[in-house]
Amino acid sequence: MAFMMRYGHFVDRQGDTIDEVMAVYMPKGKSYTGLDQVEIFCHGGRQVATNILNEIVASGARVAEPGEFTKLAFLSGRIDLARAEAVAEIIGANTDSSFHAAKEHLLGAYAEHIHMLREEIIGIIAEVEASIDFPEEEIDPADTRRLIHMVDAIIRQIDDLARTYTGGRIIKEGYKIAISGRPNAGKSSLFNLLLRQQRALVTPTAGTTRDYLSEWIDLDGFAVNLIDTAGLRKGGGAIEKAGRKSAIKIISDADLLIWIIDLSEKDWLTKLQADLKFIKKHIKLLVGNKIDLLKDYRKVLGQAKDADLTPISCLTGKGINELKKKLVGSINDNMPDLTSGLVVTSARHQQKLKQAVKYLRAAKKKMSQSDSPEITAFDLRQAAGAIDEITGKVYTEDILERIFSRFCIGK
């Protein structure tokens, strides 16, 4: 039966019309949830919808939990868990790249790849278990070598997939760039410049920014979360100390650190050398600011032999385009190829993939030690089980609760 949309009046229990509406009935097996389903289309506006909803609830219905429709779709077997999660990603996508990745997940290339990996593991389990059934027969070492080879190939594939999460997380959550440096270096000035608005307070007083400021910018189609932090220096009052503490946390969470220094200071190089020790663990871009105050900034930069500094002036805007190009380059270096659709954007999936790799490695070790096939099969089954949790072949109420509670109501 084709769906048919009907026109009519929505009347309350007293018989009064609330609104002129359209309604469509979707029978069991053909609806999103897989259950009998009706959708009512009323006029836009909060109050009309609220009145209709109240009337339906008063007649015995209840409001859906967040993600309940998609959860029902999963429970009725219409979609697997990876696709259900992709629905939430589609809704949450706020850049073209996150939308693209989510769409690929929903279309299924990703789920199919996961399914294929699972089938490969199941194939190996079958072979290993076959030797359990015939314990009297000697296992041919060539067979063992072949199986180890197959396990190795799967480990590599799963490992590669799990690694795409570095880029996948960026696609989903945005690329975090923290601007940090000593007080008065021009952090807030750079923040405003990249934001193209006077968002942060800029003053000649060192220690102006105490709390951090966080804004979103679009850099070449990527969502970038730009964070201006308090300047880092010893001493200062309690407020400055608290600001410094939060700045250090932000720096360690960032995907990229912009460390900005004031090139107009006589002792900038000594300071920079001390700073580099402090930030050595971070992925960073060193920026030399206030070149407008220097007669020959190239000569000044030449003093820093091994440190690669990007010269800018927040006052004149010189060097900003070059800096932006470097920022985009740094994002691109971290991004996976999106065209294949094989990008892990969920921390849960990454964790399950890593778990699978762990069990596969254990199985491989046991195979090469010629342990009993029962023990090897156990590890392989654990690996397949971890993969099954991604697609939802195996799930617990707890997992469903965690996934669907993140949805918005009505999805």
Ligand X SMILES: Nc1nc2c(ncn2[C@@H]2O[C@H](COP(=O)(O)OP(=O)(O)OP(=O)(O)O)[C@@H](O)[C@H]2O)c(=O)[nH]1
Query: What are the residues binding ligand X (CB under 6 A)?
Result: 183-189, 202-204, 206-209, 231, 289-290, 292-293, 313-315
**Residue 161 Ramachandran class (φ > 0 left, ψ -120 to 50 alpha, else beta):** alpha
Say how many residues touch Mg ion, by CB under 5 A: 4
User: What does 184 bind: Mg ion, ligand X, none (CB cut-off 5 to 8 Å by kind)?
Assistant: ligand X
> How many angstroms from the chain centroid is the CA of residue 299?
42
Residue 311's DSSP bridge partners are: 288
Nearest distance from C-beta of residue 187 to Mg ion, angstroms: 5
Cβ–Cβ under 8 Å, residues 174 and 225: yes
Query: Is there binding between residue 188 and Mg ion (CB under 5 A)?
Result: yes
Judged by CB under 5 A, the chain residues 53 through 92 that form the site for Mg ion are: none
Nearest distance from C-beta of residue 253 to ligand X, angstroms: 19
**DSSP 8-state code for residue 137:** S
Cβ–Cβ under 8 Å, residues 367 and 151: yes
Pick the stretch among 6-14, 86-94, 187-195, 395-403 that binds Mg ion (CB under 5 A).
Answer: 187-195
Nearest distance from C-beta of residue 317 to ligand X, angstroms: 9
Q: Which is nearer to Mg ion, 184 or 346 (CB)?
A: 184
Q: Which is nearer to ligand X, 124 or 258 (CB)?
A: 258
Q: Which is nearer to ligand X, 282 or 318 (CB)?
A: 318
User: What does 51 bind: Mg ion, ligand X, none (CB cut-off 5 to 8 Å by kind)?
Assistant: none
Nearest distance from C-beta of residue 390 to ligand X, angstroms: 44
User: What does 183 bind: Mg ion, ligand X, none (CB cut-off 5 to 8 Å by kind)?
Assistant: ligand X
* Edge-to-edge order in the sheet of strand 175-181: 213-219, 222-228, 175-181, 256-262, 284-289, 309-311
Q: Which is nearer to Mg ion, 213 or 223 (CB)?
A: 213
Nearest distance from C-beta of residue 225 to Mg ion, angstroms: 17
Nearest distance from C-beta of residue 38 to ligand X, angstroms: 57
Query: Is there binding between residue 382 and Mg ion (CB under 5 A)?
Result: no
Nearest distance from C-beta of residue 281 to Mg ion, angstroms: 24
Nearest distance from C-beta of residue 66 to ligand X, angstroms: 40
Give the CA dihedral 248, 250, 251, 257, nearest 10 degrees: -150
Q: Which residues contact 335 (CB under 8 A, 6 or more apart)?
A: 97, 167, 170, 171
- Give the HSE-up count for residue 321: Cα atoms under 13 Å, Cβ half-sphere: 2
Q: Which is nearer to Mg ion, 247 or 357 (CB)?
A: 247
Query: Is there binding between residue 208 and Mg ion (CB under 5 A)?
Result: yes
Q: Which is nearer to Mg ion, 131 or 188 (CB)?
A: 188
Residue 176's DSSP bridge partners are: 225
User: What does 207 bind: ligand X, Mg ion, none (CB cut-off 5 to 8 Å by kind)?
Assistant: ligand X
Q: Which is nearer to ligand X, 125 or 312 (CB)?
A: 312
CB atoms within 10 A of CB 317: 11
Closest Cα to residue 72, out of 34, 107, 103, 98?
34
Q: Which is nearer to ligand X, 289 or 345 (CB)?
A: 289
Tell me the two tokens of residue 120.
């490969």
Nearest distance from C-beta of residue 195 to ligand X, angstroms: 12
Q: Which is nearer to ligand X, 67 or 288 (CB)?
A: 288
- Answer for which of 180, 209, 289, 350 binds Mg ion (CB under 5 A) is 209
Cβ–Cβ under 8 Å, residues 26 and 6: no
CB burial string 284-308: b at 16+ within 10 A, e below: bbbbbbbbeebeebeebbeebeebe
Question: How far is the C-alpha of 71 from the C-alpha of 405, rounded, in Å?
Answer: 10
Q: Give residues in contact with Mg ion (CB under 5 A).
A: 187-188, 208-209
